[in-house]
């Protein structure tokens, strides 16, 4: 079994900060500047790849949790109950965090779509 890597929460915070910056820029109708884009990292390709990496990390944490649970159930002497519980909690927290990011992205999208032109 490979050791699990911790969930990278700054990525989630970075996504939320980008969303806030985009929302405030849209509400204030501030034009995007090159300096502003580099300061907030508002490159769509970077955002897309960062979001894809976050989803992949959540998926790998959940897969690892399932693998550990299965190994424990099959009687693997190298897997302890505490490892299974910790992996399960990590997977649950990662999924909840991803769900919260999704909810905030949907809310930001709805806010932008409901803005008067």
How many other CB atoms are there within 10 angstroms of residue 38's CB atom?
10
For residue 81, the model assigns a pLDDT of 93
Q: CB pairs under 8 A, 24+ apart, for 65-73? A: 65/90, 65/91, 67/1, 68/1, 71/1
Alpha carbons 66 and 62: distance in angstroms, whole number: 6
Residue from 5, 6, 43, 7 nearest 22 by CA: 43
For residue 74, the model assigns a pLDDT of 93
For residue 66, the model assigns a pLDDT of 94
Alpha carbons 23 and 111: distance in angstroms, whole number: 8
For residue 30, the model assigns a pLDDT of 44
CB–CB of 42/19 below 8 Å?
A: no
Where are the domains positioned within the chain?
Answer: 9-26+42-113
Give residue 81's Cα distance to chain centre: 27
pLDDT tens string 9-36: 445 666 667 767 766 666 654 444 444 4
pLDDT tens string 54-104: 889 999 999 999 999 999 999 999 999 999 999 999 999 999 999 998 899
Its pTM stands at 0.57
């Amino acid at each position: 079994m490979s050791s699990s890597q911790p969930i990278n929460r700054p990525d989630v915070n970075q996504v939320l900060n980008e969303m806030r910056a985009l929302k405030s820029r849209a509400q204030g109708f501030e034009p995007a500047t090159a300096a502003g884009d580099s300061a907030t990292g508002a490159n769509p390709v970077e955002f897309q790849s960062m979001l894809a990496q976050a989803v992949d990390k959540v998926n790998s944490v959940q897969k690892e949790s399932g693998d550990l649970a299965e190994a424990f159930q099959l009687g693997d002497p190298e897997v302890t109950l505490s490892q299974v519980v910790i992996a399960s909690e990590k997977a649950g927290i990662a999924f909840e965090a991803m769900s919260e990011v999704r909810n905030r992205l949907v809310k930001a999208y709805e806010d932008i779509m409901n803005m008067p032109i």
